[in-house]
């Protein structure tokens, strides 16, 4: 592999590290948004009641992901209705079959906003990552970005110093040897005269 090829390979590796850092930061930001939304929903929904479950259907879902591949899984689609001030409201929630081996039956607790009863959530609606987890993910992502950027800069400078400067020094040494050989020839000619 040529020197330029080695440098480009190292720079591509650090570019990948930076890319993964950005991906982790974006994922952590989406989790932070979901957590803020969930906390806001919990503050707004101060009233609770039992909702009647109207349906439990087992559905197959597919998650097509470039990293993991095609993944099939099953969810329970639980639909329910609840009545506030004589008005009926409907809702549904998807429960992963791995976490919830059987769907809830009969009734389900619903928390709703008294000012706007259509805004609601159930205790099954939870965010997996807490604020500390999100902070750690962001910190790790930023460390990858900063470390990858530093290593790209260092690789560029190191390659320049090690490979490019050494080529110039080698050329300079060759010129110095040629110049030294010419001086010795001139001295020999002077001595012979």
- Spans of all domains in the chain: 17-44+126-144, 52-105
Which residue in the block uniquely carries the two structure tokens 């099953």?
74
Q: pLDDT (tens digit, 9 = 90+) per residue, 151-171? A: 888 887 776 666 555 555 545
The model's pTM: 0.58
Q: Nearest 5°: CA angle at 79, between 85 and 55? A: 120
pLDDT at 184 over 80: no
* Nearby residues of 125 by Cβ (< 8 Å), 6 or more positions away: 38, 41, 93
Q: What is the pLDDT of residue 71?
A: 74
């Amino acid at each position: 592999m040529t020197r330029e090829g080695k440098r480009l390979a190292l720079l591509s590796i650090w570019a990948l590290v930076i890319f993964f850092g950005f991906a982790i930061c974006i994922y952590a930001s989406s989790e932070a948004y979901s957590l803020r939304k969930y906390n806001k929903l919990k503050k707004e929904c101060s009233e609770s009641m039992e909702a009647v479950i109207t349906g439990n259907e087992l559905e197959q879902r597919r998650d097509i992901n470039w990293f993991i591949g095609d993944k099939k899984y099953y969810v329970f689609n639980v639909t329910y209705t609840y009545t506030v001030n004589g008005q009926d409201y409907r809702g549904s929630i998807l429960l992963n079959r791995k976490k919830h081996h059987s769907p809830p039956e009969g009734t389900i607790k619903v928390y709703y906003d008294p000012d706007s009863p259509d805004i609601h959530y159930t205790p099954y609606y939870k965010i997996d990552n807490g604020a500390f987890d999100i902070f750690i993910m962001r910190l790790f992502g930023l460390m990858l970005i900063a470390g990858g950027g530093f290593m790209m800069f260092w690789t560029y400078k190191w390659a320049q110093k090690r490979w490019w400067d050494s080529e110039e020094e080698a050329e300079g040494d060759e010129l110095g040897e040629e110049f030294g050989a010419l001086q010795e020839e001139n001295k020999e000619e002077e001595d012979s005269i």
